[in-house]
Amino acid sequence: MYRPVIRLLLTCPLRVGLLLCSLVLFVPNSLGQDAAISGSERPNVIIIFIDDMGFGDVGFNGATGPKTPHLDQMAREGMQFRDFYVGCAVCSGSRTALMTGTHYQRLNMAAVLFPNSNKGLHPDEVTIADMLLDAGYATKCVGKWHLGHLPPCLPTYQGFQSYFGIPYSNDMWIDPANRLADDIVLREGVTLEQLRAGEKQKNQVPLMRDEEVIEYPVDQSTITKRYTEEAIRFIRQHRDEPFFLYLPHTMVHLPLAVSDAFKNRTGKLIWDAIEEVDWSVGEILGELRRAGLDERTLVIFTSDNGAAVGSSLPLRAKKGSVYDGGIREPTVMRWPGRIPAGTVCREVAASIDVLPTLAKLCRAELPQRPIDGHNIWSLMSGAKGATSPHQTYCLTHGPGTVRSGKWKYYPWPEGQSGRKADRSARDHNQGDRPSVQLYDTVADIGETRNVANEHPGVVQRLQAAWEAHNKELSANRRPAADLIRPKDALSPSRPGTPGRRSNSSVAPLDWASVEPGKTYPSSSVANLVKQPFTLTCKLSGDLASGVVVAHGGTLTGYSMYLHDGQLTFAVRQSGDTIRRVSLPLGPASDWTIVASVTPTAIRLKVNDNRAEVWQGDGRLLRHPAEDLSIAFDSKMPVDPEGPTRRFDGTIKSIRFQID
């Protein structure tokens, strides 16, 4: 009965609203108590939600690259969930499902929101923070929100008493409608006048406190460390009362960045970023121990979707796909004395189950509106004979999927990526080739052998569940919220792509005049879309290493680099599709290198006597947005597996031509 009052207060000016809220929280609640959890046993709750971390990125799931000692220790002290699913294979849909216990499609939320989106999570929906705030918990969000970057969808309108973080993905841009703090910190030469005039660049995002931008562009190399420090301050401030901390890290989403302590730690930037996230987990758990809160705090660690850069192995596919590599996540839950240590749950559970489970544990009221999750405390507590509450877990993201026990069903044929819907074939068989997919995830965790033809009864049952789920979901949708933009706000449209050459004042680049250590506008380089080209470099230097040339970033581009005596030419055609051609340099210290991209191959030649070829169309599908860099990579790496250091040899010449 107190929800409308609290929600109204949260939409007031922040300082006044929070003061009044603190008084309202002393009013007794009708909390729907569970006799099994007494008031003194209500746990503090910390949810650590990583961005784009794959199943195979952590030691407790077999990672051999990055070291994750703190997560591995957390797994020894808690319970691993080996079959834990999120509600979407990308950002916003996954966060919606976690925060509301409800499929994102039911709430008419987009799978991914952008700074130019005009919708967000409706404030009438009950989030975990809403529910726990009503139950007397202090609440805070630290990190990536991505459920709406303007009122009434910011965290402070969704049950969080305070917020510190980046409001969406770190590869996006600032919306001129966001309110600027009076003491905003401006970086990288940006002026207040430019910002008010609509300055925005891709990969340059704002840092917010509550409802104001306090830094632009945020220094992403410090963000994991600053999130961790902010989270620890909140724990210390609220150690004597129940609290809910939601820590959705920005990393390890592209563009990757790490603090000085983790730079060049492993040889791969993605591994450096994973290790810094692991460090953060260790700092949080260490603070709980020091504060005497260890046995009073439930900590849940998981990821929003599969790996974009890292590893989802041994699962099939990665981020964006509804194969398991896109939606089955590394997950640990830890509550000393309540969750049995060193245990593994192999029952199907999901992020939509977190909210109803916390309602039980924290003696809070479930939302009156229907949700899709179930209480999984019997699984978490290791109750004898406990089984998944999901007879079928249906996910309608992309082309869709159903998990039921050991079975994983796809109502579409093989040959797709699992990212986009193809509603064509619906017959269960077309000759000997099934038009649907069925995998035994216990016997075949990598989903390599389609057994649909061998189990027609299972296919029929899961197809019926799929159709019933879609019918019910379509009939019971609820609205998203309209973002409120000031009337005089400038457009939030996506920043223009320099490669479109809309700026006719930029002169064509004279490659003969390029200098090491400098950058050149991408718009000065000839249009590369589906164009064959050749890059010729003359280099020298004993044991030279580093980036020779880079043009592009996390969406598309090419780079050439030397590392450990190996020369690599990498072409990022789009997103996570990167083609690499490599050669050992041998004992020579002077090299003439010719790298070419054609409709049939990517070729690499050194000193006219060694050649390596990748067979296939290597041409770029779009022009790089990031500038051309000589002897270093100025922003985000084209190839995350390449070195981050500047080239320490000598570049005698670079020639480039469209063939």
Q: Mind telling me the catalytic residues? A: 91, 146
Residues 627/201, Cβ–Cβ less than 8 Å: no
Adjacent-strand bridge partners of 574: 577
Which residue from 553, 609, 559, 546 is spatially nearest to 583, judged by alpha carbons? 609
Which tokens belong to 167?
């409001």
Which residue from 499, 431, 427, 496 is spatially nearest to 463, judged by alpha carbons? 427
How many whole angstroms separate alpha carbon 166 and alpha carbon 596? Answer: 39
CA atoms within 13 A on the CB side of 519: 15
Which residue from 114, 215, 216 is spatially nearest to 172, judged by alpha carbons? 114
Give backbone dihedrals phi and psi of 573, rounded to 5 degrees, phi first: -75, -40
With a CB cutoff of 8 Å and minimum separation 6, the contacts of 611 are 603, 604, 605
Residue whose entry in the numeric block shows the structure tokens 């920043």: 495
Which residue from 637, 653, 632, 630 is spatially nearest to 520, judged by alpha carbons? 630
How many whole angstroms separate alpha carbon 483 and alpha carbon 151? Answer: 6
CB atoms within 10 A of CB 503: 11
DSSP E strands, 98-145:
119-120, 138-142
- DSSP letters, 469-511, are HHHHHHHT--PPEEP---TTPPP-PPPPPGGG---TTSPPP-G
How many whole angstroms separate alpha carbon 156 and alpha carbon 133? Answer: 12
Q: Could you tell me the end-to-end alpha-carbon distance of the chain, in angstroms, rounded to an integer?
A: 71
- DSSP letters, 173-217, are ---TTSEEEEEEEE-TT--HHHHHTT---TT---EEETTEEEEES
Residue whose entry in the numeric block shows the structure tokens 């107190």: 2
